[in-house]
Chain A
Amino acid sequence: MSLKAFHIFFILVSIVFAAGLSAWAFKTGASDALGFVSGASSLLLLVYGMAFLRKARSIIT
């Protein structure tokens, strides 16, 4: 597995982690702000992952 493939896997795990953190923050009532920020981070990572996939295809073999 190349670094490119491992990075995509890592970003997928990070998306799940950020979404889980958001769910934890809302469900336990620990902090709504953390819930919103980690939820937004999850979306941001998703956007980054898709952009990385698109761009990496052309520059890294």
Chain B
Amino acid sequence: MFSRIFKYLPFFSDAEVPYTVAARPDTGLYNAKLGIWLFLASEVMLFGGLFSAYIFLRIGAEPGYWPSGLLNVPVGTANTAVLIASSVTVVLAWAALKMRQLAKYKFYMAITILCGVFFLAVKLSYEWPAKFNHFGVFVRQSAASKYDEFLGNKHLSETGQAPRWEISGHLLDAPKGSPYADQAHHNAEHFAHETHRHDAVTEADDDYVIQLDPVNADPDSKENDRPHFLPRPLSSKLAVIKAADVESASTFAPRHSTYFATYFLITGLHGLHVLGGILVFLYLWLPIKGGTKLYQSNPEHLANRVEIAGLFWHFVDLVWIFVFPIFYLL
């Protein structure tokens, strides 16, 4: 049965696929190029819809409920530079194939793959885990005056800025039964080890204790009125917040806010595209039938495959150039 199915799938059979090298007379393009542009058109609609959702969610957010300055700008900038560099190397790899320089092609393609792997590794091993260990508590507006030493809303009101309702940092103690109790316990042990202080855990069963971010440790400081390129370290100041005064509390995960929901959705989807690009590049780089072995029989066909993969990679990098400023800078 499988052989019957496979005979219609050119990938698994020896059937001749037309117009892989020469342009098809009616379209003026080889088939794969037409295919990739149709695919990229659908991708524009996919990411366009998500970016539109981001814009409308941001415009519709209540004042003080759209965070900023929570992402690591140097890391994001470095990752952007890596992706731009990978777009250059993939074009150099393609140009090398066009000039029939296989060794150069392999070299530039290897660099492109490494750039993609570096991007994903940074995202998955550093950026995302750092967010999952950061905690934010949105205080009820009716109780906000009790916590103004951490929110600084008097200062924000005097300077004409949006109010702040969130107190964030590392969670050191959580109310009884909280799903974050283990994380809090781990952080509290680390805090005690680092500072030799043992006031991070309270007697009460309904307290959140948070080791504060600089923005909440000194909320009236003018330093908080501007963005910072380098992330600022946590302060040693603690905030104790009653569970009854809390509107919502979460790590910086998708459930934290629409900001993080859209951040993880768009960067996650983008990351999947980067992974897909890496896998295709690996296929074209390895000495297998569809990869560099193809160079021996039909180098132009391999060059066309690399061009198609390169077009996809450029699109993925272009998406990131829009993602970076809207999430990290604005």
Complex Cα gap A25–B227 (Å) = 9
Taking a contact as CB atoms under 8 Å apart, the answer to whether A3 and B227 are in contact is no
Q: With the chains together, A28 CA to B224 CA distance in Å?
A: 12
For the A-B complex, the count of residue pairs with Cβ-Cβ distances under 8 Å equals 62
What string of 1s and 0s marks CB contacts (under 8 Å) between A5-25 and chain B?
011001001100100110011
Q: A29 CB to closest chain B CB, in angstroms?
A: 5
- How big is chain B's contact interface, by range? 20 to 34
Query: Are B88 and A48 in contact, with the CB atoms below 8 A?
Result: yes
Query: Once the chains bind, are A3 and B311 in contact (CB under 8 Å)?
Result: yes
The reply to whether B318 and A3 contact each other, CB–CB distance below 8 Å, is no
CA distance A43 to B51 in the complex (A): 29
Q: Please, how many angstroms separate the alpha-carbon atoms of A50 and B211 in the complex? A: 51
Asked if A56 is at the interface (CB within 8 A of a chain B CB), the reply is: yes
For chain A residues 36-53, which have a beta carbon within 8 Å of chain B?
38, 41, 45, 48, 52
Partner pick for B321 among A6, A13, A48, A59, CB 8 A cutoff? A13
Q: Does any Cβ of A come within 8 Å of B91's Cβ?
A: yes
- Contact indicator A21/B329 (Cβ below 8 Å): yes
CB of B215 to closest CB in A, whole Å: 14
Are the CB atoms of B229 and A3 closer together than 8 Å?
Answer: no
Q: How far is the CA of A42 from the CA of B321 in the complex (A)?
A: 14
Contact of B314 (CB < 8 Å), options: A6, A30, A48? A6
List the A side residues contacting B111 at CB < 8 Å: none
Indicate which residue in B99, B311, B325 contacts A6 across the interface (CB closer than 8 Å).
B311
Q: Contact between A34 and B229 (Cβ–Cβ < 8 Å)?
A: yes
Interfacial residues, chain B to chain A (CB-CB below 8 A): 33, 37, 73, 77, 80-81, 84, 87-88, 91, 94-95, 98-99, 226-230, 307, 310-311, 314, 317-318, 321, 324-325, 329
